[in-house]
């Protein structure tokens, strides 16, 4: 498979390139960037020095049609929807890592992203690229929309118990912690070291964009509306996400009931691990040990005092939250083992 990356100079573009350079069934033919046109890739992504001599090129759809079979679009929100119709028109498959094709209802883009979608006819044709829920649809899709990073552990943590109708459908609270790489490569005052270091900064306390994805996917799963409350926090780490979800059961399940629900959903999944141990330091999910991996670790506990379920989800936001998930989707479309190019156990200590 000949692949190209549009928007390859950002953090996600660089992570994609790192993975694809070592993928046994992929040849990276073109990487584009407006900011670094003509520059060697390794001058921006220094970890790739002596691994590739690729240079950033100008985006040219006709050239891409001749040089590759599939395009990864790692562009800012609102940009891909202008480009993707052209890519599809010349016969290219697309895996989009922006938010432009995640939501099915065009009006949701006005509500959550504050823009009118320019090609709403493609929203129903796109497939939400979460393999654990949409594997067979991904296999034959020409347009795959990779999920948001914080939406991924939120959905995976909730899907089994929502599907089993264990919890109230309008009283679910998600508290998310995310590292600084989640803000992207472009610096802001909020990402300035002196401002970010040593703190925990709540932001977008309600109305965060990933709310729409979580509600959409869980509602589709059960065929009726699911409502969630979602609040993210910027924390003092570079990579990683931890979601702590509070859900309220209709009748209190036992830990064994939860084990049964999660094993039924994820027992055969290559990248979901259930973590609820009684020994060791990492008895529950922790993003620290997931850096560089495509795993999503899910744990849970039961709080009988408050009639509450606590669901924990941890990922590397750059991997299962973005580039790794995109490669997993690629593997599905190629009918490869989903672990191809993604078998990395992480570091410890780090």
> 152 — alpha (psi -120 to 50), left (phi > 0) or beta?
alpha
Locus of tokens 């299962």:
320
Q: Of the listed 68, 146, 149, 329, which one is catalytic?
A: 149
Residue whose structure tokens are 């020095």: 49
From residue 340, give the alpha-carbon distance in Å to each of 29, 86, 273: 19, 29, 18
Q: Is 296 a catalytic residue?
A: no
Angle at the Cα of 326 from the Cα atoms of 321 and 329, rounded to 5 degrees: 120
Which class for 105: exposed (0-12), middle (13-18), buried (19 or more C-beta within 10 A)?
Answer: middle
Pick the closest to residue 111 from 119, 123, 103, 122 (CA basis): 103
Give the Å distances, CA to CA, from 283 to 171, 239, 346: 27, 20, 17
| SS3 at position 243 | strand
Residues serving a catalytic function are: 149
């Amino acid at each position: 498979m000949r692949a190209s990356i549009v928007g390859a100079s950002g953090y996600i573009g660089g992570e994609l390139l790192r993975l694809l350079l070592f993928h046994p069934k992929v040849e990276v033919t073109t990487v584009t960037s407006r900011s670094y046109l003509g520059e060697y890739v390794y001058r921006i992504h220094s970890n790739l020095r002596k691994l590739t001599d690729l240079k950033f090129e100008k985006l040219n759809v006709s050239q891409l049609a001749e040089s590759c079979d599939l395009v990864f679009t790692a562009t800012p929100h609102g940009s891909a929807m202008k480009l993707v119709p052209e890519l599809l028109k010349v016969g290219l498959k697309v895996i989009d890592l922006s938010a432009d094709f995640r939501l099915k209802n065009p009006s949701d883009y006005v509500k959550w992203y504050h823009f009118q979608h320019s090609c709403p006819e493609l929203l129903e044709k796109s497939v939400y690229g979460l393999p654990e829920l949409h594997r067979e649809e991904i296999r034959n899709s020409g347009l795959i929309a990779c999920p948001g990073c914080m939406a991924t552990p939120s959905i995976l943590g909730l899907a089994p118990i929502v599907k089993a109708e264990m919890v109230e459908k309008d009283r679910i609270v998600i508290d998310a912690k995310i590292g600084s790489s989640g803000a992207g490569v472009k610096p802001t005052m909020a990402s300035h070291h002196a401002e970010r270091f040593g703190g925990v900064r709540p932001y977008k306390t309600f109305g965060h964009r990933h709310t729409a994805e979580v509600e959409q996917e869980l509602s589709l799963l059960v065929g009726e509306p699911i409502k969630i409350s979602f609040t993210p926090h910027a924390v003092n780490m570079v990579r990683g996400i931890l979601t702590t979800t509070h859900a309220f059961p209709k009748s209190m399940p036992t830990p064994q009931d939860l084990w049964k629900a999660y094993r039924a959903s994820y027992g055969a999944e290559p990248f979901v691990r259930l973590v609820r141990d009684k020994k060791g330091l990492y008895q529950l999910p922790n993003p620290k040990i997931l850096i560089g991996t495509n795993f999503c670790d899910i744990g849970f506990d039961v709080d009988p005092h408050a009639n509450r379920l606590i669901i924990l989800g941890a990922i590397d936001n750059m991997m299962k939250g973005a580039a790794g998930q995109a490669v997993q989707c690629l593997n599905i479309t190629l009918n490869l083992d989903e672990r191809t190019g993604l078998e990395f156990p992480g570091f410890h200590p780090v």
